[in-house]
Structure 1
Amino acid sequence: MVGGLSPLAATATQLFEQSGSVPQLIQLYTSEGCSSCPPADRNLRALLNDPKLWTQRLPVAFHVDYWDYIGWKDPYAQPQFKERQYALKKSGAIESIYTPGWVVDGKEWKGFFLGQALPAPPSRQGGKLKVEVNDNQQVTVSYQGVPNSPDSDPITAHLVLLSFNQTSHITAGENSGKTLQHDFVAVQELQSVNQTPEWRFSLPGSDLSTQKAMVVWLTSENSPQPLQATGGWLE
Structure 2
Amino acid sequence: MIMASRKSLWPAALALAFTAFAGASHAGESDRAQASKPVADKPLGVVELFTSQGCNSCPPADAFFAELATKEDLVALAYHVDYWDYLGWQDTLSRKENTERQYDYMRAFGSRSVYTPQAVINGRMHVNGASRSEVDGALARMAKAGEGMRVSIKVSRTADRVTIDAGDAGTGPSDAHVVIVYFDPPQEIKIAKGENVGREMTYWNAVTGIQTAGMWHGKAQRYELPMSEISKKGGCAVLLQSVGKDGLPGPILGAAFIHKP
| Count of residues in Structure 1 that have an aligned counterpart in Structure 2 | 216
Q: How does 1:55-94 map to 2 (within 5 A)?
A: 55=73, 57-92=74-109
* % identical equivalent positions: 25
Kindly provide the amino acid, as one letter, of the partner of residue 41 in structure 1. Answer: D
| Conservation of the 8 A alpha-carbon contact between 2:69 and 2:75 | no
2:126 is the alignment partner of 1:108: yes
**1:89 Cα deviation (Å)?**
0.9
CA deviations 1:161-215 (Å, max 9, x no partner) are: 333331111112211222121112223322234255444545658634xx1x432
CA deviations 1:70-116 (Å, max 9, x no partner) are: 22221211111111101101111755211111111221113745865
Match in the other structure for 2:243: 221
- Alpha-carbon distance between aligned partners in 2 of 1:27 and 1:78, rounded to the nearest angstrom: 15
Q: How does 1:78-227 map to 2 (within 5 A)?
A: 78-92=95-109, 96-106=113-123, 107-110=125-128, 112-113=130-131, 116=134, 118-119=136-137, 120-121=139-140, 122-123=143-144, 124=146, 126-136=150-160, 138-147=161-170, 149=171, 151-153=173-175, 155-196=176-217, 197-201=221-225, 204=229, 207-208=232-233, 211=234, 213-222=235-244, 224-227=250-253
Q: How does 1:35-74 map to 2 (within 5 A)?
A: 35-48=56-69, 53-55=71-73, 57-74=74-91
- Alpha-carbon distance between aligned partners in 2 of 1:182 and 1:118, rounded to the nearest angstrom: 20
**1:133 Cα deviation (Å)?**
4.3
Instruction: With the length of structure 2 as denominator, give the TM-score of the two structures.
Output: 0.70
The answer for unaligned runs of 5 or more in structure 1 is 1-7
Task: Flag the structure with higher strand content.
Answer: 1
| Conservation of the 8 A alpha-carbon contact between 2:69 and 2:77 | no
Instruction: Please identify runs of 4+ aligned residues in structure 1 that moved more than 6 A.
Output: none
Are residues 63 and 135 of structure 1, via their aligned partners in 2, closer, same or farther at CA, if it must alter by over 3 Å?
Answer: farther
Kindly provide the amino acid, as one letter, of the partner of residue 180 in structure 1. Answer: M
Once superposed, what is the RMSD of the aligned Cα atoms? 3.0
**1:64 Cα deviation (Å)?**
0.7
| Conservation of the 8 A alpha-carbon contact between 1:13 and 1:133 | yes
Are residues 133 and 75 of structure 1, via their aligned partners in 2, closer, same or farther at CA, if it must alter by over 3 Å?
Answer: farther
Task: Flag the structure with higher helix content.
Answer: 2
Instruction: With the length of structure 1 as denominator, give the TM-score of the two structures.
Output: 0.76
Name which of 29, 32, 51 aligns with 2:53. 32
- Alpha-carbon distance between aligned partners in 1 of 2:165 and 2:51, rounded to the nearest angstrom: 31
- Alpha-carbon distance between aligned partners in 2 of 1:180 and 1:111, rounded to the nearest angstrom: 16
Q: Secondary structure at the match of 1:41?
A: helix
**1:59 Cα deviation (Å)?**
1.0
Are residues 28 and 13 of structure 1, via their aligned partners in 2, closer, same or farther at CA, if it must alter by over 3 Å?
Answer: same
**1:139 Cα deviation (Å)?**
4.0
Q: Secondary structure at the match of 1:36?
A: coil
* Worse overlay, 179-188 or 96-105: 179-188
